[in-house]
Structures are given as C-alpha cells and as structure tokens.
Structure 1
Amino acid sequence: MSLAPRAVLVHRTSEYEELLARHGTHGQAAFFLSSRGRSIEEVAERHRRARRALAEVATAVPSLWRQARVERADLDRFLFAPEDVVVVVGQDGLVANTAKYLSGQPVVGIDTDPGRNPGVLVRHRAADAPALLRAATADSGTVDELTMVEAVTDDAQRLLALNEIYLGRPGHQTARYRLGPDDESAPAEAQASSGVLVGTGTGATGWLGSLRRERGGGPPPPGPAEPRLLWYVREAWPSPATGTSLVAGVLTATERLRLTVESDRLVAFGDGMESDALELTWGQTVRVGRSPTSLRLLG
C-alpha cells in the first residue's frame, strides 16, 4: 500500500522571535528598537501575519495526509521523502534555501507578507492552500521546472542552488585558482579574484544581475526555466602570474566550468547560505554547471 502524501511546511524564525531571543522580553525588545527609531509593532505584526498564514496552511492539509514542519535552520538535517509536497510559508529566499535539499518534490510558495515580498517564488496566499495541495497530488496544476546549478568536486561532494553558487574565500578575500572549460585539452587560466559566481535565470535578477549591471550589460540573462547559466569572475587581478581573459560567459545545458584550487582553503556555497558550504583544499577540482535536478514550483 502506498504511503499517504506528507505535507512538509517550511518556515523560518521571524525577526520578532529573534529579538525576543536576544533581549528576553517584548518590553526590552521594544526599548531597543525605539532607541533606533523603529517600532516593535510593525515587527510584531509581520510575525503575527506569518504565524496566521502557517496555521491556515496547516489546517488546509487533508486529514488523511501526514504533516511535518521544518525551520530553515534545520533544513540540512531534515530528510525529505519522495511522496512529500513541500509548502514554503514565507519569503522568496526561503524557497531558494529549501530547493537545494529536494529531488523533484512539488513545491508550493505561500507569501506571508504580500506587497513586501516580490512574490516571484512565493506566488500564492494561504487561502489558496487547499486547492494547491489537491493540484500537487493530482498533477493537475501548472508546474514550472526551474533550472538549478550544481557544483561537483573531484571527491564526489555535490552542492545545489536555485540562484547561484559562489566559489572563493569564506571572507571574500583574494582567492587563487585555475579556471577554464571542463575540457582537459583546453587551457585554464591562473587567476586571483574575490570569487566566481555561476547562476541561473532565477538568480539573474539578484547577485548576478548586480554584476551584469556593473559591467554595463553582457549576454542576455536566461529565463528561470532555460538551461543556460551565466558566470562571472569578481574583481579579477592581473599580475605576471595571473590573468583576466576569462571573466564572464555563458554555459549551455551540457557545459561545465572547471576550477582547480590554488589556495589553502576555498569554499563553495549556494544562495547565500555560507553555513552550508563545501570545503575546497589545494589542488582540488570542482566543476559547475546545470543540475539535472530542477525545482518543480506550482504556478
């Protein structure tokens, strides 16, 4: 007998909860914010809206389904199952944080603060949850297959990201490495820079978009479902031993960028989550390109 679906509700600790954890009481947190010209009421109201949305979504889960909740900080320790329907209740960034731990499960994004969030990935309201959950299991809803990027090391470590992967020093200081296409016969260039970014069409409006604007344009960014990736080298430094001829480009669905570490320690992390990074040591090689896994986001 097949298992009943499980609704996994993903949420994150609110700013209000973080303030209480730091200051102890509502009154002390209010005093702290007022001394900086802010009101705790706006923070508390956003907290209340998020909790109401989470409760409404939990109530919408069919009675025969199983249900679980996971906080953002625990995502790397949570085991998602093939039959899960993942409901992200929060902001666009929380969808990206969740995507790297999935393997094709359908995802529903619920916006807890309409008008404040862009709503690119959290496209729905809590009131839509009953219909969305039915559509997720009946395969009757519109599903966007959003391209993801992956980094794979020569010792088989793997990292996924929805927006972009950063390779460089943990503190963004100068990193040394060799960069080139994933073709042993093609030359690789020794570089010193503040890191390399490889990202998707979803990430093209964020960090990658900032780099593209700084450089006055470049290749047109791909759409979120397109298999193309963009890559940029940040602040490459020319010297007698390092070059700057490979600083930006496009990867097709089958192409990979190859980076060989020539520093004591580099890291690779995705979507800004530095706490969940791959450690890269001298001489290690990492290849970055389009992931065969995509994010299945209900439209």
Structure 2
Amino acid sequence: MHRTSELTELLARHGTRGQVAFFLDQRGQSLAGVEERDERIRAALADVAAGIPPDWRRASVERGDLARFVFEPGDVVLVVGQDGLVANAAKYLDAQPVIGIDPLPGRNAGILVPHAPAAGAALAEAAYAGAASVCERAMVQVRTDDGQTLIALNEVMIGQAGHQSARYALSVGGRDERQSSSGVIVGTGTGATGWCRSIARIQAPDLPLPGPTDRALAWFVREPWPSPSTGAELIAGRLDDAALDLRVESDQLVAFGDGMEADRLTLWWGQRVRVTVADRTLRTVIGAAGR
C-alpha cells in the first residue's frame, strides 16, 4: 500500500515538469527536492516488491482506493509511506499483520513505519509463517443507536463537516453537559503519539495518556463555548473500561476517523452515539520472532 507522491500530485495539477518547477519557484521552493523524494519513494516501493516471493499473489493499493479495496483474511499488508498511511489502512483490516516501511527516514516519526525497505521481504515471510512479533494496538469505535459503526486507529472526530460549531449533549464519567464546540476527539494510545498528544499539551498537560496496547482512550473537546444554554466544564479525560456518550443537537454532524473525512458516518438531530475501545486491534509487525 502506498500514497501518491507530491510530484505525481503536482504533475496531475499542473501538467508538465516545467509548469511544476515554475509553480514551486514562485513560492520559493525547488523542484529538485520534490523529485528527490519521489525517487526515494519509488526506489522503496521497487525494493519491497522485488523481495516478495514470485509465487505470492500480490496487489498494489493507493490510499485513495482503500475504501474500494477488499483485503483477504490471509493477506500480509506492507505499507510504504508515512505513519498516517498505516492509520488510514487500519479501519479496513481485521487481524492481518501490517508491516510499516519508511521510504523517507528522517521525515517521518517512524512510530508506525519503523522498518527499512530492505527488511520488508523477510518480515513479510515471517508474518505469513506466523513467526513475527506483533504489537496489538488498541483501536477506537463509534457506534450509533441505529447500528452504524466506524473504527479508527488514532482517533475519531465528531463534529460539523465544515468544522463550524457543533451542538450536542455529552455524557462521560457520570457527568453530563450540553455543549457547543468545534467537535469532540477521542483517541487511542497510538493516537496519543500524534494529534491527541498535541491537543493534550495545550488542553490537559497533566492527563495520563494511554499506551498503544492499553484498552483505554483519551478524549478532548475542541474550543467549547460557554453560553446560557451550553457549558465548558467537561473538556478532557481518560476512559478506562468506560464509554463516552453523545446526543446530537445539530441538524447534522459527522463522525470520521484518522483524517479520512470522506469515509464517515452522518449523524442527525437526536441521534445517540457511543464511543468505546474497539474489540478489534491492529497487528503491527515489530520484527521476526526471536530477534
């Protein structure tokens, strides 16, 4: 699995390398850096593909096609790209081992893509043989009162599609509050290394964030507005074996996970939503067993 490179996206928009170079130059940037990153990504993809046993069935999936791609139970998934690409794939998987490959060391955090391209083939064979060490990463689930579900690896966001004020009634930890805010974020221990960590630094610096394998979540309310009918007391917390409940009081809200806003649940006035730790985990490959 991979994502379209910056160069490919720029060429799709501007047509030719010359036009891309002119566009970047007008903004004080260089085509050379974009081309260099594109070459490194292509080389990483080629290295990974070359190491896969020739008798294995294989497919290449671009990020934009994830919602239409069907993963088989016995698949081994190699993700070549940034950390967020693993999170993008997570909701479409169910127990398949995931090997994160970093094509641009030094540019990515490497938390979910810790492996070099050269290690991909050996790790894939170990994962296929059941001889890989894996990290069972907790995931977060949204379930509506009419049975719709959404699962994410890092975090889920519930709010207005246009990121305007969302109105709802929040229930968590035995406390209730009607709120108007920019939305509610509920994240996992994996998410606590990304966006949720950034929110916590500002909003709740003393909140103990969960670890990647902990069956616990952290939640945050973005910019709650205190008014005669809404409050701003419930702004952050941790869920250990507990749920966050929300009743929609806007014409329409959405819930989406890991930045995949196009693949979302639409929530209507009066609808109830519950956010919990998911039963499913994401199995990321750490290494071959015994190493």
Q: What does residue 188 of structure 2 align with?
A: 200
Would you say 1:39 and 2:30 are equivalent positions? Answer: yes
2:244 touches 2:274 (CA, 8 Å); kept in 1?
yes
Q: What does residue 211 of structure 1 align with?
A: 199
The residue correspondences of 1:21-36 to structure 2 (distance < 5 A) are 21-36=12-27
2-structure distance, mates of 1:181, 1:286: 12
Query: Once the 2 structures are TM-superposed, how far is the Cα of residue 187 of structure 1 from its aligned partner?
Result: 5.8
Query: Once the 2 structures are TM-superposed, how far is the Cα of residue 216 of structure 1 from its aligned partner?
Result: 5.0
The residue correspondences of 1:243-254 to structure 2 (distance < 5 A) are 243-252=231-240, 254=241
Q: What does residue 213 of structure 2 align with?
A: 225
Q: What does residue 257 of structure 1 align with?
A: 244
For 1:132, what is the secondary structure of its paired residue? Answer: helix
Q: What does residue 161 of structure 2 align with?
A: 170
2-structure distance, mates of 1:238, 1:266: 20
- 1:26-58 Cα offsets, whole Å, 9 max, x none, are 111111111111111110111111111111111
Would you say 1:73 and 2:64 are equivalent positions? Answer: yes
2-structure distance, mates of 1:196, 1:267: 11
Q: What does residue 270 of structure 2 align with?
A: 283
For 1:142, what is the secondary structure of its paired residue? Answer: strand
Amino acid at match of 1:295: L
Query: Once the 2 structures are TM-superposed, how far is the Cα of residue 277 of structure 1 from its aligned partner?
Result: 1.3
1-structure distance, mates of 2:69, 2:184: 29
Query: Once the 2 structures are TM-superposed, how far is the Cα of residue 244 of structure 1 from its aligned partner?
Result: 2.3
Would you say 1:292 and 2:248 are equivalent positions? Answer: no
Amino acid at match of 2:180: A
Would you say 1:59 and 2:46 are equivalent positions? Answer: no
TM-score, length-normalised on structure 2?
Answer: 0.95
For 2:49, what is the secondary structure of its paired residue? Answer: helix
Amino acid at match of 1:204: A
For 1:84, what is the secondary structure of its paired residue? Answer: coil
2:209 touches 2:238 (CA, 8 Å); kept in 1?
no
Amino acid at match of 2:228: P
Amino acid at match of 1:77: R
| Identical counterparts, % of pairs | 58
1-structure distance, mates of 2:27, 2:231: 46
Q: What does residue 270 of structure 1 align with?
A: 257
- Structure 2, unmatched stretches of 5+, are 287-291
Query: Once the 2 structures are TM-superposed, how far is the Cα of residue 218 of structure 1 from its aligned partner?
Result: 2.8
2-structure distance, mates of 1:195, 1:213: 18
Query: Once the 2 structures are TM-superposed, how far is the Cα of residue 170 of structure 1 from its aligned partner?
Result: 1.2
Query: Once the 2 structures are TM-superposed, how far is the Cα of residue 188 of structure 1 from its aligned partner?
Result: 3.2
Amino acid at match of 2:98: V
Q: What does residue 119 of structure 2 align with?
A: 128
Deviating 4+ runs (over 6 angstroms):
none
For 1:32, what is the secondary structure of its paired residue? Answer: helix
2:168 touches 2:180 (CA, 8 Å); kept in 1?
yes
1-structure distance, mates of 2:204, 2:146: 38
Distance 1:89 1:196, change over 3 A: same
Query: Once the 2 structures are TM-superposed, how far is the Cα of residue 215 of structure 1 from its aligned partner?
Result: 2.5
For 2:164, what is the secondary structure of its paired residue? Answer: coil
Q: What does residue 289 of structure 2 align with?
A: none
Query: Once the 2 structures are TM-superposed, how far is the Cα of residue 181 of structure 1 from its aligned partner?
Result: 3.5
- Structure 1, unmatched stretches of 5+, are 1-9
Bigger shift: residues 207-216 or 273-282: 207-216
Q: What does residue 6 of structure 1 align with?
A: none
Would you say 1:142 and 2:129 are equivalent positions? Answer: no
- Superposed CA RMSD: 1.3
Q: What does residue 18 of structure 1 align with?
A: 9
- Count of residue pairs the alignment pairs up: 286
Would you say 1:86 and 2:74 are equivalent positions? Answer: no
TM-score, length-normalised on structure 1?
Answer: 0.92
